[in-house]
Structure 1
Amino acid sequence: MAEGATGYTESETERVQRHPSLYNRHSRDYAKSVSLKISTVMTRLWCGEEIRRWRVEKYREYDRILTSEQSDVTIQTAGSKAEGLTCFLESDRDMFYVLKGVLCVEAGINPHTIPNDIDVFKMDTRVYPGHCRLLQERPSHTRRIVIHHALCENGYGDVLLRSSLLLDALLTLQPTNLSVVLHEQAGPSRPGTFKGILNVDKVTSLRCHCPRILQRWAARPRHWPPLLIVQKVVLLGAYVTPVGFKGSKNKHMEWRICFNTGEAELVNNLNDTQAKVYVILKMILKDKLKPNYKEITSYVLKNIILWQAKNTPQTEFHARSLLYWLHDGLRELRTVIEKKQLLYDSREKFNGSLWYEGCITA
């Protein structure tokens, strides 16, 4: 079992001891019965597997339409919408605007294998966990104006792509759209409201090619996901967004590494019970924990669910075990809050969507 495994393979007796309120002799059958009823209600109302997959496909279709109308970006829906877990107006719509003609690569990638019309930047990960700096490796023949304005020298002969300068350059290029009211910049995101009802978070990002990082993730032992999904996640690659580590004195130079498409693929392949546990945890976070625990975000909950799936045979996740896994997830969430295990460090169990070496969790 991988480092940080949660030990979900204990005997039934050990599980009863861990969760006496749910799994003693008198309440086990009742908990299973209630689990089944909750699962049935969620399926009928909004959270069944069929409706989740329908939502995912519709957002992908819409992304393809939007991208076909753009010459300089590829548009991708991210977050809960890409995972099919929320209704249309239930939460903000997170959208990635991936700049075309720019590629970030990890050390060791030969730039001569990349077409000359693409700006190539090398990822320097010797900074804070889950982040990197971008050093110019090879300029393209036709450079985008926002990239040109974001370049600077570090005093040692290197040309860097500065995240804060890119954000400044993007602000000057915001189109005028009377249907959209833009709000103050929030990290890498530019929030806005479309026609007064639809909240959208727009994040500009750059494509990354980092096969060695993802192969390290793929090589980890796991019960889940199956090999085919692991290979697909590796092929989906990664992105960087223009935001540095919060406590870094050089955060204006740093970029956050993220795997939003890979994580969405993992969540889309959770089974019905796993997805419902994730949805209930998010409801508890929104209605009961906010705003007292601002550091607890959806990706922390996602991390808990992915760890459950990774370290447990899939046969143990079914409608009658929903309350058990919800209780288990809440117990792990309490551990997160009490021990503040929110570091980007593989030595910690809960380290967010990005590990110190730049890997997704499961």
Structure 2
Amino acid sequence: MQHVSESMFVGLCDIVGTSQEVAIRRETRDIKEMVERRVKPNGTIVMLSGSRREGFRLEGSDTDLMYWPNNHRVIMDMSQSEYYNTANTTLILSDSSESPPGFTLLQLLTPTTFREVQSACVRKNNRVYISSSIYRGLTCSAVVPNFSVHGPCGTGIVGRLEYDTAICFVCDSWPVSASSWIDRCHSWPASKVVGDIVRNGCHFMAIGHPLGPHEHKEWRISFSQAEYKLVYSMNHCQFLTYGLLKLILKEVINHQSEETNKLLCSYHMKTTIFWAIQQNILPHWCPQNLLAGFWVCFKLLLRWVYKGICPNFFIPQNNMFLTKVYGSAQNRLFLQLHELYKKGLACLLQSPSIRSYIIDVLYNPRLSICTDESITRLEVDFDIQLITEFKSVETLDANLCYLTNVIHIIEQYVESPKSLYQVVTLPRLTALIFQQTAFLLQNMYTNKRANKQMYIADKIPCHMLKLAAKFGCISDMLYIAMYYYKTFSYREALCIIEMTKVKLAQPYLMYYGHVDRERYTEAVGGQSWSTKMRQAVAVDMELGTRICYVSELIPEQQSALQKGKARTLIIPVFVMLHFLEFLCYRHIDTTLSQTALDELQVLVHHDRGLYVHDLLRDISWEILGICQQITGNLQAALYSYQQSLTHDPYNNIQTATQGRIQDIVQLTPHQYQ
């Protein structure tokens, strides 16, 4: 049993992640959100929640996002109103007197300028309440294009990722109905974690209890923020056990029958392990006891299904099985789980993800199992994970006041204590801010100042971009080239492009997780992260859609804004390299311009995911078409635009593409009649 447990530990680390990989995922997200919240006192706050926030990257998982207006606050009783300035904060009162445990009505106390809140107001007993169902419909349609309702969320698909977006309200106070949870926390979590959770309050999600008296007006109390902090406080064996429960639910339990495959969800698994840890059923959670921990949780879940009661971890009176697990479906589910229980731990063999790890040990009982992460993972593995997570800190608002506030906040963070991966993430975030600020400044000053003032105004953004490239990665040099192109300094831009070309041609380049591990380790292994970034790492170009970087891409930026993808266009770095090279050489050497276009065409036509990710083929074909249209090759451009439309609309540029196609058809109508 001990050997099998250790094998499972290693196997789950392969699937779920090692403790170091999970820490990378969490800490890069945490610092980005910390910065955002500090600089958006009256804006809309976005919080990643659910399994991705907890540190999972399981295949097929959706992305859960919570949005709330930061100038609206829910209070638990009227006495709390004195802590807020109602001149700039809208107050909402939680009234749970008529609602089931875990649910409440929200009464609007002070005026709001938020149009969706105004439209969702309904009257009851001469008081104004916010209807959860109306608010959900209004806000989800604004944030999630082509959404469908999924519980309190609007579900939509961007590229191949499914997003669950919940628009909610925040409360700085811990709900009275969850006060018993504080008293229960004797052994877990630690008092420091409890204090942090209680200080940060809760949220209210736009969904009522289906059996409550005011289903369409009620709101559910959400502990999403508390939950990810509880998951953070687990040791890695507990976290892997949680991951194993999620896998068994997805690959075994939900494959039993159509009648029962939607009765249990991942949230029930999370609740199960929370109770199992807090009740101290298993004193020692370690690799050798991993399967014992899983079995404790499975038996607890079986008991709950038998009784038809799944107590919410924070408000136990809220039975989360009440409207789903009852009657014949409950009996059927219990019998299915009981059949798995009778098989014992052999039921795990039904999971295709983990079956091989168990079989290896069963057939090789003397197999040596190593659970030491420093041996099972190489330095390059963690570097790949860190680069992957950088994608989650790539988007900020294109507002100069906002960006200068971010710079000020980052100055403060430089001096404050930080974890290892926050130290690494901070320069990347700073580089992004400098890049956006530089182009914002350039856009502001263009054609608005005299020559001397323009010279000074040009020097500042250029210096910021060079500074960003010093502690950024290889691809950050192309922002300098973009700036030079935008300011008509074509030869300077081409010098930067040539330098970037040389670096991108290195055999140890790390891009999109593709890397020659031996050469990478040989070239930069053991060196500082800043050195690795400058010499061996490239990421895709992210252009904020509200900032003009390259005028040729303005229609695509406007299209993305109209489609709801309001933050960025994402462009493969090699596509951007050839694009800029083509644009610059047009003004210097037409032969070399054609060479750059030929290289771009070969890349877009023949790459198989090495340099152009499948999700970014829409923008890649679009850029090829733009270049072909500039040269006058309208037939080739038309083909490229048509190809762009056939690919995943990840960048939401279809409106621009269709407009460009229409332009060509109007120029040569006789060819397309």
Relative distance call for 1:51 and 1:237 in structure 2 (3 A) is same
Relative distance call for 1:46 and 1:342 in structure 2 (3 A) is closer
How does 1:75-224 map onto structure 2 within 5 Å?
75-87=46-58, 90-116=60-86, 117-126=88-97, 127-139=99-111, 143-154=113-124, 156-171=125-140, 173-174=142-143, 182-195=146-159, 197-211=160-174, 213=176, 215-224=179-188
Distance in structure 1 (CA, Å) of the matches to 2:24 and 2:43: 28
Other structure's SS at 1:252 match: coil
Distance in structure 2 (CA, Å) of the matches to 1:215 and 1:123: 16
- Letter matched to residue 157 of structure 1: N
TM-score by length of 1: 0.78
Q: Which residue of 1 aligns with 2:593?
A: none
Q: Which residue of 2 aligns with 1:24?
A: none
Structure 2 segments unaligned to the other structure (5+ residues): 322-673
Matched, 1:332 2:300: yes
How does 1:256-267 map onto structure 2 within 5 Å?
256-267=220-231
Relative distance call for 1:208 and 1:347 in structure 2 (3 A) is closer
Query: Quick check: 1:224–1:314 contact (8 Å CA) kept in 2?
Result: no
Deviation at 1:267, TM superposition (A): 0.6
Relative distance call for 1:298 and 1:39 in structure 2 (3 A) is same
- Letter matched to residue 298 of structure 2: L
The aligned length equals 313
How does 1:1-362 map onto structure 2 within 5 Å?
31-61=1-31, 63=33, 72-87=43-58, 90-116=60-86, 117-126=88-97, 127-139=99-111, 143-154=113-124, 156-171=125-140, 173-174=142-143, 182-195=146-159, 197-211=160-174, 213=176, 215-290=179-254, 291=258, 292-312=260-280, 316-342=284-310, 351-352=319-320
Distance in structure 1 (CA, Å) of the matches to 2:276 and 2:57: 22
Query: Quick check: 2:101–2:317 contact (8 Å CA) kept in 1?
Result: no
Distance in structure 1 (CA, Å) of the matches to 2:314 and 2:35: 39
Other structure's SS at 2:212 match: coil
Deviation at 1:105, TM superposition (A): 1.1
Deviation at 1:307, TM superposition (A): 1.3
More strand by share: 1
Structure 1 segments unaligned to the other structure (5+ residues): 1-30, 176-180, 354-362
Deviation at 1:110, TM superposition (A): 2.9
Relative distance call for 1:343 and 1:295 in structure 2 (3 A) is farther
Other structure's SS at 1:173 match: helix
Deviation at 1:347, TM superposition (A): 9.8
Distance in structure 2 (CA, Å) of the matches to 1:346 and 1:218: 9
- Letter matched to residue 101 of structure 2: P
Bigger Cα displacement from structure 2, 157-166 vs 312-321 = 312-321
Query: Quick check: 2:9–2:240 contact (8 Å CA) kept in 1?
Result: yes
Deviation at 1:91, TM superposition (A): 0.6
Other structure's SS at 1:211 match: coil
Deviation at 1:325, TM superposition (A): 1.0
Relative distance call for 1:151 and 1:45 in structure 2 (3 A) is closer
Deviation at 1:316, TM superposition (A): 0.9
Distance in structure 2 (CA, Å) of the matches to 1:228 and 1:220: 14
Identity %: 20
- Letter matched to residue 136 of structure 2: L
Relative distance call for 1:103 and 1:70 in structure 2 (3 A) is closer
Query: Quick check: 1:122–1:137 contact (8 Å CA) kept in 2?
Result: yes
Deviation at 1:344, TM superposition (A): 5.5
TM-score by length of 2: 0.43
Relative distance call for 1:172 and 1:302 in structure 2 (3 A) is closer
Deviation at 1:63, TM superposition (A): 4.5
Q: Which residue of 1 aligns with 2:401?
A: none
Higher RCO (CA 8 Å, separation ≥ 6 residues): 1
Cα distance per residue 1:183-215 (max 9 Å; x no partner): 3122221111112x1111111010013335355
Other structure's SS at 1:165 match: helix
Rg bigger for which structure? Answer: 2
**RMSD across aligned C-alpha pairs, in angstroms?**
2.8
